[in-house]
Structure 1
Amino acid sequence: MPYWLHTLIIVLIIYIAISIALYYLQDYMLFKPEKLPADFQFNYENQDFEEHNLETRDGAVINGILFKPKGKPKGIVLYLKGNSKSIKGWGKFAVDFTRHNYNVLMVDYRGFGKSTGRRSQKAIKRDLQVVYNKIKERTTEDRIILYGRSLGSGFAAKLASMNNPKMLILDAPYYSLTKVAARYAPFMPFSILMKYPLPTYKWLKYVQCPIHIIHGTNDKLIPYKTSIKLSKVNPKLTKLHSVIGGGHKNLNTFESYHKMIHNILHQKSFDIDLSTTSIHVKHSSKPTKTKV
């Protein structure tokens, strides 16, 4: 056997072995869950909350916490968190919405916290739709805000595309998880390997409510340019909010982020009489000649 052919076979074997490993190990690489015992008692200082459990049709239990504001609720924020820990730690971010008199519901995905069940993209999407349906039993959709953080941004976009919430807020979203994975190993066939492709860009096309994208300009994990690209998918309904200098995990430490949340939640839509603006005025590309 020629040396080059022998080398090629070895390379192919290694390539296939790595592909198989990536396929079966991606759950461990993508999800960093914190598991909690069923009798764990949540404790949040100065926050009014109640715990809920929802059983799915396949016997899984989805655990969540409803945080309540001090004043009369204006609506509810379904907060879909990132890929790590559990709502035990994520709960501290509920204050960013309860302070504006919104209820906040946070749920743990399968295998996170107290939630059980075998995890898959299809199962998580189905679970979240069931949660959304439960919310609709208590209030109208024009009072529901979907907030997706990092991993949760894809699931939030999917929910928004299938329903009619008041608005969709995406925090550090990705174009698709397939694209994110390809940044680290561009030579691997992730379009085939990914069990969680989560194509946010595809789902955004079908969203009919206002879309707000918040992203830090110094995000190293999911680059800021990702949100610029996403903002062009459904431009008429999308507004991009830039946190100058913000990274992937520290947006809450920027005053500008909290001002953005305030403006998004309290904004009032209004019409502009474009006939009185310069919208149709174009700069001339050719220099005009001055007559003497």
Structure 2
Amino acid sequence: MSYWMYITIIVLIIYVIISVAIYYLQDYMLFKPEKLSKDFQFNYANQDFEEHNLETRDGAVINGILFKPKKKSQGIVLYLKGNSKSIKGWGKFAVDFTRHGYNVLMVDYRGFGKSTGRRSQKAIKRDLQVVYNKIKEKTTEDRIVLYGRSLGSGFAAKLASMNSPKMLILDAPYYSLTKVTARYAPFMPLSLLIKYPLPTYKWLKYVQCPIHIIHGTNDNLIPYKTSVKLSKVNPKRTKLHTVIGGGHKNLNNFESYHEMIHDILNLNPEPIDLTTTSIHVKHSSKPSRAKA
């Protein structure tokens, strides 16, 4: 056997080993769950909340917390969190919506917090649709706001594409999870290996409600340009909100972020009559010459 043939075989073996490792270990790499005991007591100072459990058709239990506003409800925000911890810690962000008069429902994905069941992309999508259907039993869809943060942005986009919520808000979204992981393993066949491709861009095409995308310019995990690209998928329904200097985990520390949330939740713009604007006026490329 020649030297180069030997090297080629070694490289192929290593390549296969890495591929197998990515396929079987991706759950551990993508998800960073915090598990809670069944008798764990949630505690949020100065917040009115109640705990709920929803049993799925395959016997899993999805645990969630409903935060209630102190004033008359304007609707409900279904908050789909990121890939780490549990709603025990994420609950502190509910105040950003309850202060505007919205109920906030946060749920833990399978294997997070008190939620149980075997995790898969299909199972999580099915669970969230069941949760959405339960919300519809209590209120109308024009009062439901979907908010997806990081990992949750893909699931929120999928839900919005299958239903008719009031609006969809994506916080630091990804074009697809395959694209995100490709930054760290550019030479691997990730389209074949990733069990959670979460193609946000595909689902956004079918969203019929207003879409608001919030992203920080200094996000090192999911680059800001991702949201610029996503904003072009369904441009007539999408508005991109830029947090100058914002990173991936600190948008809530910026005053501009809270101003954006305020404007998004409270703004009720009237449609613009484009016939009364200069939309069709074109600038002359060459200066016209005065006639003698």
TM-score, with structure 1 as normaliser: 0.98
2:247 aligned partner? 247
2:268 and 2:222 mapped to 1: Cα distance? 30
1:46 matches 2:39: no
The 5 A counterparts of 1:175-190 are: 175-190=175-190
Q: Determine the C-alpha separation between the residues in 2 that align with 1:243 and 1:218.
A: 9
- Correspondence 1:55-70 to 2 at 5 A: 55-70=55-70
Written as runs of structure 1 = structure 2, the 5 A alignment for 1:209-220 is 209-220=209-220
Written as runs of structure 1 = structure 2, the 5 A alignment for 1:94-133 is 94-133=94-133
Aligned-residue offset at 1:2: 1.3
Unaligned runs of 5+ in 1: none
Cα RMSD, aligned residues only: 0.9
Q: Structure 1 residue 271: deviation in Å?
A: 2.0
Matches within 5 A, 1:1-292: 1-291=1-291
Distance 2:60 2:276 in 1: 58
CA distance in 2, matches of 1:153, 1:124: 13
**In 2, Cα distance between the equivalents of 1:35 and 1:213?**
30
Q: Which amino acid aligns with 1:82?
A: G
Once residues 27 and 289 of structure 1 are traced to their aligned partners in structure 2, the CA distance between those partners, rounded to angstroms, is 69
CA distance in 2: counterparts of 1:279 and 1:137, whole angstroms = 43
Q: Distance in 2 between matches of 1:269 and 1:93?
A: 26
Q: Could you give the per-residue CA deviations for residues 50-76 of structure 1, whole angstroms, max 9, x where no partner exists?
A: 000000000000000000001111100
In the superposition, the TM-score normalised over structure 2's length comes to 0.98
SS in 1 for 2:183: helix
Deviation at 1:273, TM superposition (A): 2.3
Aligned residues: 292
SS in structure 2 at match of 1:184: coil
What's the CA shift string for 1:88-143, capped at 9, x where partnerless?
Answer: 00000000000001000000000000000000000000000000000000000000
Structure 1 position 272, deviation (Å): 1.9
Q: Percent identity?
A: 86
Q: Which amino acid aligns with 1:131?
A: V
Q: Give the C-alpha shift of residue 286 in structure 1.
A: 3.3
Mean alpha-carbon deviation: is it higher for 172-181 or for 270-279? 270-279
Q: Could you list the runs of 5+ residues in structure 2 that have no partner in the other structure?
A: none
Segments of 4+ moved more than 6 angstroms: none
Moved more, 133-142 or 278-287: 278-287
Q: Residue type of the partner of 1:142?
A: D
| In structure 1, C-alpha distance between the alignment counterparts of 2:149 and 2:16, rounded to whole Å | 33
